[in-house]
Amino acid sequence: MIPSDVAELHADLTRAVRGRVRFDAASRAMWSADASNYRRVPIGVVTPVDADDVEAAVSVCSTHDVPVLPRGAGTSIAGQAVNTAVVLDFTRHLNQVLEIDPDAAPPVSSPVWCSTTCGPPRASTG
Ligand SMILES: Cc1cc2nc3c(=O)[nH]c(=O)nc-3n(C[C@H](O)[C@H](O)[C@H](O)COP(=O)(O)OP(=O)(O)OC[C@H]3O[C@@H](n4cnc5c(N)ncnc54)[C@H](O)[C@@H]3O)c2cc1C
């Protein structure tokens, strides 16, 4: 469902979120694919800088009754990371390991923490 007031949604997100808010055709095309064969053009793409930004974006989308779609590495292979929604892309800023307890797995991290980065922090705990 594409909302009738896309311009208003764009403006409200831009006001509320500190990260980038992109509704241009090129950006929407770039985020229309993941590792699957599915293609769905998003309504827009938000790159939140922190958890407060995520909350602000979700709040605006909720007010506009628009779906949100969290996106990590986009490696899901059944189209989970593409949809007609506002995509929240966590790869840019929410990609930190927050806490490592060597006796407990997995470590606490931001939404995006690729397995390829798993080795060094674990290794550093000895
Ligand atoms: C070649 C290949 C090999 C793989 N091997 C394995 C394997 O060995 N073991 C295994 O378990 N998996 C494997 N996978 C699957 C892949 O690791 C999973 O699809 C992974 O969980 C996707 O994470 P992502 O960050 O890429 O999320 P995305 O692909 O971006 O999204 C996956 C789903 O999670 C949701 N999502 C993303 N971030 C959040 C968030 N912060 N909060 C809430 N929902 C969120 C998305 O909306 C979407 O529905 C493999 C995939 C590929 C392509």
pLDDT tens column, 25-51? 999 999 999 999 999 999 999 999 999
Residue 126: is its pLDDT beyond 50? Answer: no
Give the nearest ligand 1 atom to 94 CA.
41
**pLDDT, mean over the chain:** 88
Q: Hunting for tokens 């985020």 — which residue is that?
A: 31
For ligand 1, the distance from its centroid to the CA atom of residue 73, given in whole angstroms, is: 7
d(CA 73, CA 111): 10
For ligand 1, the distance from its centroid to the CA atom of residue 51, given in whole angstroms, is: 20
Query: 94 in the Ramachandran plot: left (φ > 0), alpha (ψ -120 to 50) or beta?
Result: beta
Q: In CATH, what number does 6-93 get?
A: 3.30.43.10
Residues with CB under 6 A from ligand 1: 34-35, 69-77, 80-81, 90, 111-112
Burial classification of residue 84, based on how many CB atoms lie within 10 Å of its CB (0-12 exposed, 13-18 middle, 19 or more buried):
middle
For ligand 1, the distance from its centroid to the CA atom of residue 76, given in whole angstroms, is: 4
Every domain of the chain with CATH number 3.30.43.10 lies at 6-93
